[in-house]
Structure 1
Amino acid sequence: MDVFEHYAPFIQDYIYEHNWQTLCPIQVAAAEEIFTTNDNVLLSASTAAGKTEAAFFPILSKIYNQPADSIQVLYIAPLKALINDQYDRLTELCEESNLKVWRWHGDVAQSQKRKLLKKPSGILQITPESLESFMINKHMDIPHLFHNLQFIVIDELHSFLRSDRGGQTFCLIERLSKLAGVNPRRIGLSATIGNLQAACNFLGAGSPFKTMAPKVQNPRQVWRLSMEHFYQTDPQAASKDFDPSAVIEPKTDQAPQLADPGIGYIFEHTRGRKCLVFTNSREECEAVCQQLREYCKFNHEPDRFLIHHGNLSPALRETAEQAMKDEDAYLTTCATATLELGIDIGQLESAFQIDAPFTVSGFLQRMGRTGRRGNPPEMHFVMREEHPESRAMLPDLIPWSLLQGIALVQLYLEEKWVEPPEPNRLPYSLLYHQTMSTLAASGEMTPAELASRVLSLAYFHNISQKDYQILLRYLLKTDHIQWTENGGLILGLAGERVVNNFKFYAVFQENEEFSVHAGSEELGTIVKPPPVGDKIAIAGRVWVVEDIDRKRHQVYCHGVEGRIPAYFGDVPGDIHPKILQRMKKVLTERTQYPYLMNNAKARLTQMRDTCNLAGLPAKSLINLGGKMWAFFPWTGSYAFLALERLLRIKCADRLNLRGFNSSRPYYMEFAMDATAEEFFQILHEEAAKDFDPMDLVYPKEVPVFDKYDEYLPGELIRKEFAYSVLDIKEMKRCVSELKQ
């Protein structure tokens, strides 16, 4: 079909005005699907391939010719900042049409929200949390607002594939569609989808339409990629005087004091460029920004480093975003995953990643922030570790982050592999949340009505009527719900306290946070503030606590010089088994990967030699001396956790296992009386048995993982942990392949 001819006149004018000579392949493929079928569509293409226009050019063209007194397109995105960015793009795109673009989140003025409620039309942009609030507080308005909803666009779909937040989003889509009496088509956008069919199944769950993912030939992409390794004190792995057995004395004459060579490398390579520095936690983000600013101060250079993470105030985050958009400003922002998604912060030249991220998806998203407007994507990994102590055991001699970084890159280069969707088989925490949300929105219901509304949602397809009865009985007992005189169910007093808190709209875990203020400026939030007089780190600087208002959750402080660690409560992500298996393969190969720099090459060679001498990875159980052993199973976080429990619960007595210590998911250390041969025999025997996963839950243990687990009966929490968190299937596969 001639795609251009099918576009509305204002879209054609937009293309002319921007001097586009051709449409890119994803735009042609998307238009053909959206114009000529009723299918849901998954648009998966590399970053900056034009996915937003690919979806919205045909969608806007269709609704332009069919005006309605209702929202016609619902756009769901994971971040307010992404909504704000896309709002500007869509507003410009619709400027010459009669189509309205609305946004709805906590920072949008009430006057704008009232206008939408009074006269709904066009496109509404929203986060899952704001949509949850909408469903509860504007429940009666849903039919009026959405009775002609035709499309739901889910941006950055990959960010919803492996969490309850994704489950919440698709529950809300189904609930809204039923309430409004519509069947909108779903359009998913992502740059990092590995298994297209699995992602299509996730996108289309609960929809009456089939889901298609047009395959387009992306142009061959060139990467500028490097990976360098640094010990945090000299000498480095590639230096001629390097002696891995020597005791290293830190230099005290370096400036800034105790300067970190890895941070110095980033400081030098970001000068005169516009870059992002990604870290894996907010603590590290704060620490790195402090160190980089110390380099500026020592070198008498203006401060050129900004900071961006989820605990900073909106004002500070937006300041960084706006500053980075300035084409003439050569600034670098230290960031966490908050800048991993598609917020427009101008043309970035390069991204730096400190240590390895946890996922291939995260690596691709972060690198994809660069390389726009014809330039190749550019990322530089900076792997850092302390010199091991002279008596360090084998596991401490392995640079796990370097190994993991190589595995992430190789998996994508060799197989184009990205983590698949991970539908939570027994999402009881979300089940509680959607039950309470449904009652809060709709009011009194019979148990049968409530079960029909909630259990019919596609995300809960594995939850039995019996389990739901157990949940409802427990909620009645704890006053989260209560009976009415008519035999219906409504929220109880305890339930109302949960639902009426604004934090109820989110299903992701939140810490109890205190807002931090310096004078009239709000800096952001911290968890568990220290005593008055102690120092905190936030916004890339150090502050002294002057006062704490615990009732209002506010901390008052003033700035000082220095450097200290920050703490926000971050936890590592889970790592897929395939990544650990590829890490193992790195040790067996002799390849020197082309993106490795001198220190990284030298460190990889040393690591391979060290492991080879110890018999790793040919052996997975290594004797550390006497009765001490190190066990390297090379499997993912939750299979590793299942294996830990198998050893401690099923094998410990037979092996006389003791002194157990693990660094998940890399290795376990323990003492035992058995030989290696006896260890594997007992492990294989126990893993091969047809045991109940509940056997791997400790007596009286209630392993709370998700946000609303605390409101669930213990038996359901234990069941979810056993059947949904512990990866028994992968653990058994892993054990079957282990050799002495």
Structure 2
Amino acid sequence: MTTASHVKLPATFANWFEEKGWQVRDYQFDMLARAAEDKDILLIAPTGAGKTLSGFLPSLLDLHEAPQDGLHTLYISPLKALTQDIHRNLLEPIAQMQLDITAETRTGDTPSHKRQRQRKKPPNLLLTTPESLMLMLSYADAPAIFGRVKRVIVDETHSLIASKRGDFLTLAMARLKHLAPAHQRIGLSATVAHPDSVAAWLGRSGQPADICHVPEAVKPQITMLKSDNRMPFGGFMARYAIDEIYQVICQARTTLVFVNTRAQSELMFQMLWEANREGLPIALYHGSLSKEQRRKTEDMMASGLLRAIVCTSALELGIDWGSVDKVIQVGAPKGVSRLLQRIGRANHRFDEPSDALLVPANRFEALECQAAIDAIAAGSLDGDKPMPGALDILPQFILNCLCSAAASPEAIYQQVLDAAPYQGTDRADFNKLWTFTANGGNALAAYDRYQRLSKKPDGTFKPADRRVIQRHRQNIGTIVEAGRLKVKRIRRGNQGKIIGEVEEYFASQLTPGDSFLFAGEVLVFDAIRDMQLHARPGKGKEPKIPSYVGGQMPLSTFLADGVRDMLAAPQRWQALPAQVQEWLDLQAAFSRIPQPGEVLVEQFPYRKAYHTLYYTFEGRKANQTLGMLLTRRMEKMGIKPLSFSVTDYGLSVCAVNSINDSQLAALFQPDILGDELEDWMLQAPMLKRSFRQVAVVSGLTEQRYHSSQKTMKQVTFSTDLIYDTLREHDPDHVLLAVARADAERELLDLRRLADLLIRFVDKAHLVSLKKVSPMAIPIVLDVRSEQVKGAGAHALLEQATLYEEAESMLDEVRAYLSGGD
């Protein structure tokens, strides 16, 4: 048995480490020893500890000592930007040690001629994404390309588990195990809340990976901005702190400014640009910009030419830009692990603390920021555990395998069972999904479009024709995009260049002459031509902000509990900004502070109606669902609800009549998830929305065909028609069940809501007030939809108006507490 103490580096490698002034760490020797024993390994190490080099080191040693033609190691990353960055960093030691090793990237941005060459002559190290890997596995030459793979490295493993994309990757790795049975797996991650679960997810043949856990050398330095300016009660951006954010950028060498959505990044960049009195080079980065724009920014950042980047989650994983010495998180972090990932982008060195500033956009977010700071100081993380694999991916996987080579259902089923999330897949469910893949099922079998498989004399199956293969390859993946239009920046005539994409529904709201923010500048809409939005640089008094579906991040349960605990401990309020402390003190004096063992419910008259506030702290999705169900039951009880609004922290219901304690007890019960839920779901459009996602992932319909991209209107019309057909003629169709389960989990967050109702049954505490309470103000006045929409200037003006109204409300509370009316 090889042990870490017996591992010796070849002179070439030992000299390279010495020239760099580095020492091989004990855990890296341990990694080499485990790799020599052919063990799967999950490496959990803090940012700057050399995780990526540790993952590649066994492969570099193997190829140095025993050169091999063709593909030896696959590196799989969740982000294209991370793949490019790791490739750039990997080429350096290969060149400096003059190793005869080839390393290349293969992503959706790779030119077609390079893809063809890679299939004919694969590099030794191939850096790719889950989608590109599955595409390569669909070709007949996949056994020749992947048959000699010795190692698979999965970076940022934590970001892939508990998601359809992670399920998708495990199926790809199961296929790899079929083609290269002896390959070893290495998982890399800085933040893992459930190591044993992730190790089981990563391992082969039901055997979990070994866990190599590197302790954190230093804690990150995190502070929260305590501005002298008045912090808003609600709202989506921290305009009140923009000058202070800019000053921090001026004092740092290089800063990453993280926001939570692409729409917010456009607005934040614009505000910073207006404040940029010193003309600092500041860039914008998000996933809807063109690959040329993104590559240019990546190269400038790697060369140290930028002072700041306003960015989204597209840059939160693993990027190693040594010049970054400051991270600013604008807005609530929503999760501890996510925040720690972003903070880790600063001071990318093992023995130096990362330096971060949190800027809450409003007062509730200040509580969330402090709860996250406390959790990180305590070494606590959050994150979901892996769940059973999503069934709508299996038809795509079945077809992917058959595109490569004909096979029997039993052979494919055994490969499915090799993927950790699918180990419990019922054979009857698999058979239904196989039938759907073959001919669409009972209600759709009459249509030629769904005759996708043909049976050979030997009992194996293959795709019916080349069109089936072509449709499949053009639509591989689990990311269902809303209909998008390319944005073409016009200079003269109709000449210009593509700078990114906006979603179709946003473009449909524009009329010629409308201005909008995109790629860091104001563009004026001209026309839509050939699925392109043509716009010219210009000026606009109220530029609109493109919004994107799915931009809203959920508040993690762990962080929600942290906020509850903080509220219940007044001695901890001293860490909060002074104006937030005053806000909580007024709440305690005027009403009461929500306690961990209850759901506080406040009721007060406001604008000729009664408002009832439920402080759930369960996230926007669960609160949205609760609002739908409560208002249906209130209608039956004669309370006459008018409307409701939600935030991550609570739910506000406006009604004609007030409620009493007995009515509250009847409202806040787990049985509300029975009849009310079923009635609502059958009438609500969300099942069709969920089915639309399932239909695209399963191959029932496609987003792309040939060189054209279907509009969202076309996709929606097609899937709605199929949904109605199946509901009427094949109500037991497997995809209807999958869509229902997805809606309950993804759109409604039913598991979280059910847990809330069960934990707090008969523990809802009603407080009747004469006026709105301080804590209720941001929830009552919250007028945000799920995404940022409309004119930027108008939104800020509206926010300012609401701020004034909120201040007026708080003044009334102060007057009431001081003895006024």
In the superposition, the TM-score normalised over structure 1's length comes to 0.84
Counterparts of 1:417-428 in structure 2 under 5 Å?
A: 417-423=381-387, 425=388, 427-428=390-391
Q: Give me the whole-angstrom Cα distance separating, in 2, the residues matched to 1:561 and 1:438.
A: 52
Summarize deviations over 1:647-682 as a string: whole Å, max 9, x none.
456776357562352415422223366422442255
Q: Give me the whole-angstrom Cα distance separating, in 2, the residues matched to 1:322 and 1:24.
A: 30
Name the counterpart of 1:184.
183
CA separation of 1:455 and 1:647: change in aligned 2, threshold 3 A: farther
One-letter amino acid matched to 1:292:
L
Q: Give me the whole-angstrom Cα distance separating, in 1, the residues matched to 2:347 and 2:153.
A: 25
Q: Give 5+ residue unaligned stretches, structure 1.
A: 238-243, 245-257, 386-398
Q: Give me the whole-angstrom Cα distance separating, in 1, the residues matched to 2:79 and 2:238.
A: 35
Name the counterpart of 2:793.
none
Do residues 105 (structure 1) and 107 (structure 2) align? yes
* 1:546 Cα deviation after fit: 2.7
Name the counterpart of 1:475.
440
Q: Give 5+ residue unaligned stretches, structure 2.
A: 701-733, 766-821
Summarize deviations over 1:47-88 as a string: whole Å, max 9, x none.
111111222223322343333334111100112222222112
- CA-based RMSD: 3.4
Name the counterpart of 1:718.
740
CA separation of 1:723 and 1:574: change in aligned 2, threshold 3 A: closer
- Please give the secondary structure, in 1, of the residue aligned with 2:385: coil
* 1:720 Cα deviation after fit: 3.7
Among candidates 375, 392, 397, match of residue 434 of structure 1? 397
CA separation of 1:62 and 1:641: change in aligned 2, threshold 3 A: farther
Verify the 8 A CA contact 2:106 2:115 in the aligned structure 1: yes
Counterparts of 1:370-519 in structure 2 under 5 Å?
A: 370-373=346-349, 374-385=351-362, 399-423=363-387, 425=388, 427-442=390-405, 451=413, 453-454=415-416, 457-471=419-433, 472-473=435-436, 475-476=440-441, 477=444, 479-482=449-452, 484=454, 496=468, 499-500=471-472, 502=474, 504-518=475-489, 519=491
Name the counterpart of 1:253.
none
* 1:155 Cα deviation after fit: 0.8
- Please give the secondary structure, in 1, of the residue aligned with 2:60: helix
Counterparts of 1:7-18 in structure 2 under 5 Å?
A: 7-18=9-20
One-letter amino acid matched to 1:480:
Y
CA separation of 1:697 and 1:426: change in aligned 2, threshold 3 A: farther
Q: Give me the whole-angstrom Cα distance separating, in 1, the residues matched to 2:205 and 2:623.
A: 36
Deviates more, 1:142-151 or 1:427-436: 427-436
- Please give the secondary structure, in 2, of the residue aligned with 1:353: strand
Summarize deviations over 1:262-288 as a string: whole Å, max 9, x none.
112112221153111111111111111
Do residues 92 (structure 1) and 92 (structure 2) align? yes
Q: Give me the whole-angstrom Cα distance separating, in 2, the residues matched to 1:377 and 1:582.
A: 23
Q: Give me the whole-angstrom Cα distance separating, in 2, the residues matched to 1:194 and 1:11.
A: 34
Name the counterpart of 2:47.
47
Q: Give me the whole-angstrom Cα distance separating, in 2, the residues matched to 1:416 and 1:173.
A: 30
Do residues 27 (structure 1) and 28 (structure 2) align? yes
Among candidates 303, 314, 323, match of residue 338 of structure 1? 314
Q: Give me the whole-angstrom Cα distance separating, in 2, the residues matched to 1:415 and 1:655.
A: 49
Among candidates 534, 548, 562, match of residue 582 of structure 1? 562
Among candidates 512, 518, 534, match of residue 555 of structure 1? 534
Q: Give me the whole-angstrom Cα distance separating, in 1, the residues matched to 2:455 and 2:473.
A: 27
Q: Give me the whole-angstrom Cα distance separating, in 2, the residues matched to 1:634 and 1:624.
A: 20
Summarize deviations over 1:2-41 as a string: whole Å, max 9, x none.
6695223332232122122x33344243233323x33211
Do residues 358 (structure 1) and 334 (structure 2) align? yes
Name the counterpart of 1:223.
221
Q: Give me the whole-angstrom Cα distance separating, in 2, the residues matched to 1:526 and 1:436.
A: 31
Name the counterpart of 1:392.
none
Counterparts of 1:552-701 in structure 2 under 5 Å?
A: 552-560=531-539, 564-570=543-549, 571-592=551-572, 596=576, 600-610=577-587, 613-618=590-595, 620-625=600-605, 627-636=610-619, 639-640=622-623, 643-644=626-627, 647=630, 653-654=636-637, 656=639, 658-670=641-653, 671=655, 674-681=659-666, 683-684=668-669, 686=671, 697-699=681-683
Among candidates 247, 258, 264, match of residue 278 of structure 1? 258
Do residues 171 (structure 1) and 171 (structure 2) align? yes
Verify the 8 A CA contact 1:592 1:601 in the aligned structure 2: no
**How many pairs align?**
687
Q: Give me the whole-angstrom Cα distance separating, in 2, the residues matched to 1:417 and 1:506.
A: 29
- Please give the secondary structure, in 2, of the residue aligned with 1:560: coil
CA separation of 1:269 and 1:72: change in aligned 2, threshold 3 A: same
- Please give the secondary structure, in 1, of the residue aligned with 2:353: coil
* 1:578 Cα deviation after fit: 2.1
CA separation of 1:593 and 1:259: change in aligned 2, threshold 3 A: closer
* 1:371 Cα deviation after fit: 2.0
Name the counterpart of 2:136.
134
CA separation of 1:690 and 1:152: change in aligned 2, threshold 3 A: same
One-letter amino acid matched to 2:67:
P
Do residues 314 (structure 1) and 297 (structure 2) align? no
* 1:164 Cα deviation after fit: 1.0
CA separation of 1:647 and 1:28: change in aligned 2, threshold 3 A: farther
One-letter amino acid matched to 1:734:
L
CA separation of 1:704 and 1:29: change in aligned 2, threshold 3 A: farther
One-letter amino acid matched to 2:28:
Q
One-letter amino acid matched to 2:129:
T
Name the counterpart of 2:152.
152
Name the counterpart of 2:8.
6
Q: Give me the whole-angstrom Cα distance separating, in 2, the residues matched to 1:8 and 1:270.
A: 44
Name the counterpart of 2:211.
213
* 1:505 Cα deviation after fit: 2.4
- Please give the secondary structure, in 2, of the residue aligned with 1:704: helix
- Please give the secondary structure, in 1, of the residue aligned with 2:141: helix
Q: Give me the whole-angstrom Cα distance separating, in 1, the residues matched to 2:332 and 2:470.
A: 38
In the superposition, the TM-score normalised over structure 2's length comes to 0.76
Counterparts of 1:259-298 in structure 2 under 5 Å?
A: 260-273=239-252, 274-296=254-276
Summarize deviations over 1:523-580 as a string: whole Å, max 9, x none.
211123223322121111101123321x243424234366624214143122222222
* 1:684 Cα deviation after fit: 3.7
Verify the 8 A CA contact 1:655 1:674 in the aligned structure 2: no
One-letter amino acid matched to 2:287:
G
Name the counterpart of 2:756.
734
Q: Give me the whole-angstrom Cα distance separating, in 1, the residues matched to 2:222 and 2:368.
A: 19
Among candidates 293, 298, 302, match of residue 325 of structure 1? 302
One-letter amino acid matched to 1:353:
Q
Q: Give me the whole-angstrom Cα distance separating, in 2, the residues matched to 1:612 and 1:640.
A: 26
Verify the 8 A CA contact 1:350 1:378 in the aligned structure 2: yes
